[in-house]
Amino acid sequence: MAVSTVPVSTVPKRRSSALQTLGLGLFWVLIVVILLYVLFPFYWAIKTSLTSSADLPQTALSFFPPKPTLENYVTVFTTPSFLYSLRNSLVVAVGTVLISLVLASLSSYALGKFRFRGKTALMYIILGVSVFPQIAVLGGMYTTIQTLNLYNKPGGLVLSYMIFTLPFTVWVLTSFVREIPTELEEAALVDGATPLQTLFKVLLPVMMPALATTGLLAFINAWNEYLFALTYTSDDAARTVPVAIASFGGGSQHESPFALIMAASVVVTIPLIILVLVFQRNIVSGLTAGAVKG
Amino acid sequence: MKKTALLIALTAAISASAANAAGVSVSFACDSTGNGFNECKKGTDAWAAKTGNSVKLLQVPVDTGDRLALYQQQLGAKSSDVDVYMIDVVWPGIIGNSLLDLSKSVPAAQLASYFPAIVKNNTYDGKLVGVPWFTDGGLLYYRTDLMEKYGYKAAPTTWTELQAMATKIQAGERAANAKFTGFVFQGKNYEGLTCDALEWVASHGGGSIVDPTGKVTINNPQAVAAIKTIGSFVGTISPEAVTTYAEEDARNVFQSGSAAFMRNWPYAYALGQSADSPVKGKIGVAALPSGEGGKSTATLGGWQLGVNAYSKHPKEAADLVAYLTSSAEQKRRAISGSYSPTIPALYKDADVLKAAPFFGSLFNALSNASARPATATKGKYNQVSNAFASAVYNVLTKKQTAEAALAGAQAQITRIKGRGF
Amino acid sequence: MAISTGSVSRPRRRAGIETTRARTAMWLLLPTVIVLALVAGYPLLRTIYLSFTDAPLNSNSGPTTFIGFDNYLFKGEDGTWTGLLVDPVWWTAVWNTVKFSVVSVVLETLLGLMFAMVINSKIKGRGLLRTAILVPWAIPTVVSAQMWAWMYQDNLGVISQWGRSLGLLEAGQSFLSKTDTALWALVAVDVWKTAPFMALLLLAGLQGIPADMYEAAEVDGASKLRQFFRLTLPLLTPALLVALVFRTLDALRVFDMPFVVKQYAQETMTMSIYARQNLIDFGTLGYGSAVSLLIFLIIMVFTVIYVTSLRVRFD
């Protein structure tokens, strides 16, 4: 079979080599078009951020900044409310990641390695929570946050973000824990280790790649969240980056603040892009796991 | 309670004069940026020096919608951390239930000196919950040079006149400036459109959306005629893009010299007459035109001072309010910051007129000011305003006829009313 | 005896171990369950309760009374029906959301499929391409909304400029400010942002198709087009379906991007935006909760259909 295929498959290839070159050319055109489409808006933001606000009305449509300047970046980094928002976002995102990873490690160990009644029901509930529309709990959670005295505080946001980071993290980690050979755990138990010791000393080191992936995705989600941050904070000093950037345009300034908005946007996006590019393989595998599993 | 504590801690840096050992410290949610803050501080400093008390000026959001949300949360939590609130003219119905009655705290003579319409607007359930501090009203801006060029002697007094004049000027000016347009206003779907459209409706004798007894009145022939008239402007004497204009967008077009007429608030005058303005010295201000069977109407804007019902120092807080809203302090603010006083007599004051000559025209507009139906609709004002603005917007964008849109608004506002405002 | 006790006690001990392990599992799960109850369970129950009341956001504005289904529908004194189910604005929001979801998900899938096939082909530079398409995905939603808002800006936006030179827009207009194009302008933003994500999901599916199946098809002389429809598409269907449903769920909940660009404008109001306006801006916590609950039910019905029809398994 294999021998006979060689002539059959090579003949048409030779016949259409000119056509193929053309096809390859078209293919490259397609790639360039895709690249332009995907990258142009970000390029446009960078270009705008390098134009001074005063020049913007005249040069908004030129494809290169005629007089590149960093003045918008200087302004952004000397605006206290923006600096507050960077700090708040960092605190909230890191807090969200740490807490959801700790909680999810504990529960994924239980869900992945223990047998008990009601496990399937619990998995269904967690899956259900992961598709909760945030808006459905917006009003109810408002009361919770006020009662717990967390309005206008990072803690309130960390708590509310659990609704979307925790189910996802538990899901992905559980499917990972299930794949870890039971022998590892049994060996530790035989040595007299408590379940917590087994989890932290034996399982967690093996789980590192999954922890990194889910932690990264939780970080990105928490960093980008808007609706809760908009609703559960009202003070400049408590707001996060998305809220700060979205409300940049709301002022009654006479000149268009878009150059500033673009500078702020670039500032908060570059770290994310670097993060995503460095960890792209982890992220792709994490996303695929999350999507397929729920 | 807690968030206000945080708020105060954060704003300690900008707090006013150091506490006098004997006095009480009154906290005041005033403007916290720009000119608003500066004028506020001058006034409170003077009061503090006079009484021996001190005033803490708090940091508040710039956006008034955000401010209202924050104050609603504070008052909802019965927080006592803010003593004096600066409140918008449409808020008394929304937060009035958490504010003190000040009718006994302000001298009777001072109370009698204010525009009666504002005092009425600020009265909630028979209580005076806000003392008028400064006011605003819609005005018609026009280009004096163009009026002369096209042979007009005076500003238009009816919408039909405005249409005729704008058509002629636009046709003439388009030759030199393709972007030139006859009339710009606030046509974006937001609170500003409610203000503009209320002026159109009221100036045709079509009422004010909801009457003082809470009856929904918006669907009437005069209102339909009014919305129809202005709707026909869009795409003729007004650009189609006017349906995306807020105050600043309209001002930018007018100030760059690309419009003959503009509806805007008093603030646009000082900016239009500033040194770098292309239309400096060419701006005239008049009362807005009227429609058939109506009289010129300006929508009432402006800010009041109210005292938190849960305040720990209600007496001092009320005293601060009485001081800041007094004739002397309003005169100082009018001269120093162009804030329109809420006392008619000040519009005839020579010192004030010298600093802000357009106050003469403003006075005529304000005497016929029409309040938005905030008192009648109480806590549901935002919803009513939104429903009305959306209906008008649908007419301006040619989605609906004026008849259908206002019939829809009538039904929608009746629905919002439900069992009562 | 000894043997028999041994044989009896071993299962007993095993049962003991099982009970201990079950108890340990409970302790391990407790923190997660508490947090989920706090952020999802309690708020949801409260939303359900509030949706049957006339509660205001500011508790001073009056007492909360139980009003049954009146937030949804009730007959006023003058005989007119009132409530969420007959509010035209709500139905506008539902219709907008449906249009937005269907069109953007279809376009994202087609475009994502194209991206995925290009990256999956054995040409040079596909790594670069794969990296590049991650950029829109990495940009925070609010930031990308502002970036596009700037490109759509009435006078200075580059897309408005293109629109003007194509004769589609008059001066001072943009696709975003014109009521009949605004929703489609937002679809364009969503497609740009999410097609790459779609591509990544589909790429995983494509890479799962064994290469020798294509070789076999080549042998049979099947054209590329035929290979795509007879081989690629059927084998990709499971991945495609999952991605489609996953994205539809997201699109039905959409809030951030349309809200940042157009706030509460009715021509682009989605269900979530309508809910927030009533909950927060209008301060009608009761009515807003009714809206939230309805959205929740719509999403849940959709999820149940998805789970049952795709037979998502846990074990």
Cβ neighbours for C222, distance < 8 A, ≥ 6 positions apart: C230, C231
pLDDT band at C204 (very low <50, low <70, confident <90, very high): confident
Residue of C nearest to A227 (CA): C256
H helices, E strands: number in chain C: 13, 2
CB contact under 8 A, C29 and A122: yes
Q: Please, which residues bridge with residue B264 across strands? A: B139
| Residue range A8-57, pLDDT digits in tens | 444 444 556 787 788 888 888 888 888 999 999 999 999 999 998 778 87
Give yes or no for residue C59 having a pLDDT over 70: no
Contacts of B104 (CB under 8 A, 6+ apart): none
The domain locations on chain A are: 22-69, 79-293
Q: What is the pLDDT of residues B265-280, one digit of tens each?
A: 887 887 788 788 899 9
On chain C, the residues whose CB falls within 8 A of the CB of A110 are 24-26, 28-29
Mean pLDDT of C147-157: 89
> Which pLDDT score is estimated for B349?
93
Confidence of residue A291 (pLDDT cuts 50, 70, 90): low
For residue A255, the model assigns a pLDDT of: 45
Both tokens of A124, joined, read: 């269904």
In this structure, chain B runs to a length of: 421
Nearest CA distance, C78 vs chain A (angstrom): 31
Interatomic CA distance for residues B114 and B133, integer angstroms: 9
Q: What is the pLDDT of residues B339-377, one digit of tens each?
A: 899 999 999 999 998 878 878 878 877 877 888 998 788
Identity of the amino acid at B113: S
**Subunit partners of chain C (3 or more CB pairs within 8 A):** A, B
Q: Cα separation of B300 and B194, whole Å? A: 11
Residues B79, B4 contacting (CB under 8 angstroms): yes
Q: Which fold has domain C87-283?
A: MetI-like fold (1.10.3720)
Distance from CA of C256 to the nearest CA of B (A): 18
Per-range mean pLDDT, top range of B226-230, C179-183, C229-233, C285-289: B226-230
Position with higher pLDDT, C255 vs B212: C255
Structure confidence at residue B234 as a pLDDT band (50, 70, 90)? very high
pLDDT band at B102 (very low <50, low <70, confident <90, very high): very high
Chain A to chain C, count of Cβ pairs less than 8 Å apart? 289
Q: Give Dmax (Cα) for chain A.
A: 77
Q: Which of A114, A265, A273 sits opposite C146 (nearest CB)?
A: A265
Cα diameter, chain B: 71
Strand boundaries in C38-125, DSSP class E: 74-75, 81-82
Look up the CATH superfamily of A79-293: MetI-like (1.10.3720.10)
Q: Both tokens of residue A107? A: 């529960």
- The per-residue pLDDT for range B323-340, each reduced to its tens digit, is 999 999 999 998 888 889
DSSP 8-state class, residue B312: S
Question: What is d(CA B277, CA C53) in angstroms, rounded to the nearest whole number?
Answer: 55
Q: Does the pLDDT of residue A289 top 70, yes or no?
A: no
Q: What are phi and psi of A256, to 5 degrees?
A: -70, 125
Contact A60 C31 (CB under 8 A): no
pLDDT, position B6: 41
Check CB contact of B396 with chain C, cutoff 8 Å: no
The token pair at A148 is 């717990």
Q: What is the C-alpha to C-alpha distance for residues C173 and B239, in angstroms, rounded to an integer?
A: 9
Only one residue has tokens 């003082």, namely B212
What's the mean per-residue pLDDT of chain B?
87
Angle separating helix axes C285-310 and A119-130, nearest 10 degrees: 120
CA angle (C202, C206, C212) in 5-degree steps: 175
Q: What is the pLDDT of residue B120?
A: 87
Give A131's contacts in chain C (Cβ within 8 Å): 249, 299-300, 303
pLDDT given at position C200: 85
pLDDT in tens, A160-190: 999 999 999 999 899 889 988 888 888 888 8
CATH, domain range B139-299+372-417? 3.40.190.10
Share the mean pLDDT of chain A.
84
Assign B123 to helix, strand or coil.
Answer: strand
Query: Residue A241's pLDDT is what?
Result: 94
Cβ of A45 within 8 Å of Cβ of C25? The answer is no
Nearest C-alpha neighbor of C57 from the set A231, B303, B4: A231
Give the integer Cα–Cα distance in Å for B282 and C27.
78
Domains of chain C, residue spans? 2-50, 87-283
**What is the pLDDT at residue C14?**
66
d(CA C185, CA B412) in angstroms, rounded, equals 28
Structural contact between residues A224 and C142, judged by C-beta atoms closer than 8 angstroms:
yes
Find out whether A257 and A251 touch, Cβ atoms under 8 Å.
yes
- Domain B2-135+301-370 bears CATH identifier 3.40.190.10: yes
Rounded Cα distance between A206 and A209, Å, is: 8
Q: What is the mean pLDDT of residues C144-166?
A: 91
Per-residue model confidence (pLDDT) at position B283: 92
Dihedral over alpha carbons C279, C284, C286, C292 (to 10 degrees): -20
The first and second tokens of residue C33, run together, are: 């369950």
Contacts of C161 in chain A (CB under 8 A): 61
Which letter, b or e, does each residue of C101-135 get, where b requires 16 or more Cβ atoms within 10 Å of its Cβ?
bebbbebbbebbbebbbbbbeeeeeeeebbebbbb
User: pTM above the 0.90 mark?
Assistant: no
Same fold, B2-135+301-370 and B139-299+372-417: yes
| Mutation target vs B (from C53, C54, C57, C58; most B CBs, 10 A cutoff) | C58
Query: Residues C233-264: pLDDT tens digits?
Result: 888 888 888 888 888 989 999 999 999 988 88
Q: Which of B77, B103, B66 is nearest to B3 (CA)?
A: B77
pLDDT at position B15 is 39
Question: Which residues of chain B make contact with C264, given a CB cutoff of 8 A?
Answer: 386
A254 shares contact with chain B (CB less than 8 Å): yes
Averaged pLDDT, B203-226: 94
**CB B248 to CB A254 under 8 A?**
yes
Average pLDDT value for chain C: 86
Q: What is the pLDDT of residue C255?
A: 96
Q: How far apart are CA B255 and CA B271, in angstroms?
A: 8
- For residues C303 and A122, the model is more confident at A122
Q: State residue A288's pLDDT score.
A: 67
Residues 225-264 of C with CB under 8 A from B: 264
Residues A167, A171, A172, A173: what is their CA dihedral angle, to the nearest 10 degrees?
100
Question: Is B15 or A138 the better-scoring residue by pLDDT?
Answer: A138
Q: Where residue B166 falls among pLDDT bands split at 50, 70, 90?
A: very high
- If phi over 0 gives left and psi between -120 and 50 gives alpha, with beta otherwise, what is residue B131? beta
Give the pairing type, strands B123-124 and B127-128: antiparallel
CA distance B379 to A212: 49
Q: Which of the listed ranges C26-40, C59-73, C211-225, C228-242 does the model predict with the highest average pLDDT?
A: C26-40
* Coil, helix or strand at residue B338: coil
Calculate the CA dihedral of residues C133, C134, C139, C141 and round it to 10 degrees: 80
What would the pLDDT profile of C116-131 be if each residue is shown by its tens digit? 988 888 777 777 888 8
Res. C208: pLDDT tops 90: no
Q: Please list the residues that pair with B57 across neighbouring strands.
A: B28
Among B4-8, B170-174, B220-224, B361-365, name the one with the lowest average pLDDT. Answer: B4-8
How far apart CA B341 and CA B331 sit, in angstroms, is: 7
Q: Do A125 and C36 touch (CB under 8 A)?
A: yes
The torsion region of residue B293 among left (phi > 0), alpha (psi -120 to 50) and beta comes to left
CA–CA distance, B393 with B190 (Å, rounded to integer): 9
The ranges assigned to domains in chain B are: 2-135+301-370, 139-299+372-417
- Considering CB atoms only, which of A107, A135, A163 is closest to C32? A107
Q: Are the Cβ atoms of B77 and A146 closer than 8 angstroms? A: yes
